[in-house]
Amino acid sequence: MEEQNDLSRVRDSRWKFLGSLKPYALGSLIVTGLFFELFIHYYLKISIVYTHFYYLIIVIAGLWYGRRAVWVALFFGGLQVIVSWVIAGYIAPDSLLRALMLGIVAFVVGSIVEMMNSYYRILETQNRALKEVNERLAASEDAFGTANKKLNLLSSITRHDIRNQLMALITFLELTRMKVTDPEVLRYIEKEQDAAEAIRRQIEFTKNYEEIGVRAPQWQDVTLVAEQLQSRLSTGEITLTLALDGLEVYADPLLGKVFENLVDNSLLHGKRVRNITLSPMQYGRGDIAIVYEDDGVGVHEEEKERIFEKGFGKNTGLGLFLSREILAITGFAMKESGSYGKGVRFEIVVPKGKYRFSGTGPGRNP
């Protein structure tokens, strides 16, 4: 960075030095033009070739001083008209025409240069403004990152303390239940234990929700992710069939939590689930869908969208809501399209470019 600053200072000093020479260089050119006019035109009586040198002077003046170069053009144009009049005794039309052309060239070159300079100043102003905005954004990003770390730390500590107190509460409720024989009191204790368990699930949800989007998305083999579900089906009463054909998706690292929530949904609400299947399906416009199906009771037609609402359902009502949030990080969508009485059918829509099949897709980091 210091070397770049040094080079920048050297370039600025060079331009300043060259800029300070502009008046002297233009003065030298004008003196040379005067010499050509007096020697070639007036003394040698050659009236055409030397005027081409005027165009060089006028173009350089236009590049340096914009439309003020017209004054230089008027000077040389008027000078060669006067010399022509002195030599010939009258004003020749070609002298007037050359003078006019000199003025036009000076005006055009000067106008173009001033326009370019104006655009350059606007661009320079916009660049400065953009730099200031970027600096503010960088500062805001740093502040946001620091605040987010502090909030996550506070949340983690608070969640840990609440969980410890909750475990103590559940333990004392269990001990109390063992000491009590009154049926009505036992019912109250059972409801208290249910409430404590609901609080525990809510705390677990806040932990999972806090992790959404924290880590960068990555390519994941859906079969390998789904195979982890076997531990939730350890009783052997439910068969898990994976027909995913080497499908990989670019998704949030919490993708496994989506499938876990779907399995939990089947176990809690499916009632008679014996088979769960995961398979891909071609979708419109180059998209595909990962289809999750079971053979349970399914979902009522009027509840197909409500099941994704936070708090809906007999349990915590957070699993499917959390699943949609995780999928939305990388532009995935999910809907339920099964028939009530035949089982659920969740379609996870994966956009084009966010999926591939083993060995056929792009690099692992798109």
Residue 1's pLDDT is 45
Helices (H), the chain: 2-36, 52-65, 69-88, 93-179, 183-211, 222-227, 255-269, 319-328
User: pLDDT digits over 293-347, tens only?
Assistant: 999 999 998 888 888 887 776 655 577 888 898 899 899 999 999 999 899 999 9
pLDDT for position 366: 37
Task: Return the pLDDT at 211.
Answer: 67
Q: Give pLDDT, residue 346.
A: 95
Query: What's the longest Cα–Cα distance across the chain?
Result: 137
With tokens 């003025």, the residue in question is 103
Helix axes 255-269, 319-328, angle to 10 degrees: 160
Domains of the chain: 1-211 (no CATH), 218-357 (3.30.565.10)
Distances (CA, A) of 360 to 66, 245, 248: 60, 12, 10
pLDDT at 77: 78
**pTM for the whole structure:** 0.52
Residues 6+ apart with CB under 8 A from 261: 319, 320, 322, 323
Whose CA is closest to 350, among 293, 285, 304?
285
Q: Which residue has the tokens 């004008």?
A: 30
Q: Identify the segments of the chain with pLDDT beneath 70.
A: 1-21, 24, 36-51, 148, 151-154, 205, 208-214, 234-236, 313-317, 359-366
pLDDT of residue 162: 82
